[in-house]
Amino acid sequence: LSMNELKRFRNEITRFMMMYKFALDVMETRIGVLVEEFQFLHEYNPIEHTKSRLKSPESILNKLYRKGGDISFPGIRDHIKDIAGLRITCSFLADIYVISDMLKNQVDLTVLEEKDYIRHPKPNGYQSLHLLIEVPVNMSDGQERVCIEVQIRTIAMDFWASLEHKIYYKYKQDNQTVPARLLEELKGAANAASALDRQMERLHKEVEGIKEEQSEAAESRDNRIVISN
């Protein structure tokens, strides 16, 4: 390759990756807007934190190689759907579906695929809601529709997935099979995380119910005062 060709190629890669970064920026802004409005209406924040990441060119190429796609920009676009990833960690189980429904209701976003590993956990116990979402990004020469992977989960699911990833990393890296006892224990830990999620959700609903009763009681007290005046 000549120096000029090399430069052109480097610019193409940079612009290609920029598109995914912009798509993440767009999504993060939208999530921020939803959360602020939700907090105003319901007096609590359903999101603990969000984290976005761009896949490195090296792991894009590794994945492309595994999937058998050709090394071209359209090849990468078609085969690798998680170049841009956004992880949303929610407080309670129900919040996951609230956030997912709010995203689905945005007319210019297209949900290409949904995988519900909460209703149908993976055999190892992994839980999360995965959405592949096409996001409009306005570039100088027109609009691009960029696909990003959104993972929505609770703190307990995130805790399990992060540690499972760390525990398995060594085995996965060396292509070794994971010992059956480890698999079983991690599945047990996933069940414990899931039980914790259900317990916290129940407590949250109980407290919400009490708050609602209190505000209804206060409202009817106020009404009586108005009438007696």
Indicate which residues carry an active-site annotation: 149
CB of residue 68 to ligand 0O2, shortest distance in Å = 12
CA–CA distance, 229 with 115 (Å, rounded to integer): 58
CB of residue 209 to ligand 0O2, shortest distance in Å = 34
Which string of b and e fits 96-117 if b means at least 16 CB within 10 Å? bebbbebbeeeeebeeeeeeeb
Half-sphere exposure of 71 (CA within 13 A, CB side): 10
Under the binding rule (CB under 6 A), the answer on residue 144 touching ligand 0O2 is no
Kindly identify the residues of this chain, within the stretch 64-103, that bind ligand 0O2 according to CB under 6 A.
Answer: 82, 85
Cα angle 80, 84, 89; round to 5: 125
For residue 152, count other CB atoms closer than 10 A to its CB. Answer: 24
CB-nearer residue toward ligand 0O2: 38 or 89: 89
Rule CB under 6 A: choose which of 48, 78, 144, 164 binds ligand 0O2. Answer: 164
**What's the sign of the alpha-carbon dihedral 144, 113, 109, 162?**
negative
Under the binding rule (CB under 6 A), the answer on residue 158 touching ligand 0O2 is no
Rule CB under 6 A: choose which of 77, 104, 115, 187 binds ligand 0O2. Answer: 115
Q: Which residues bind ligand 0O2 (CB under 6 A)?
A: 82, 85, 115, 122, 124, 126, 130, 161, 164-165
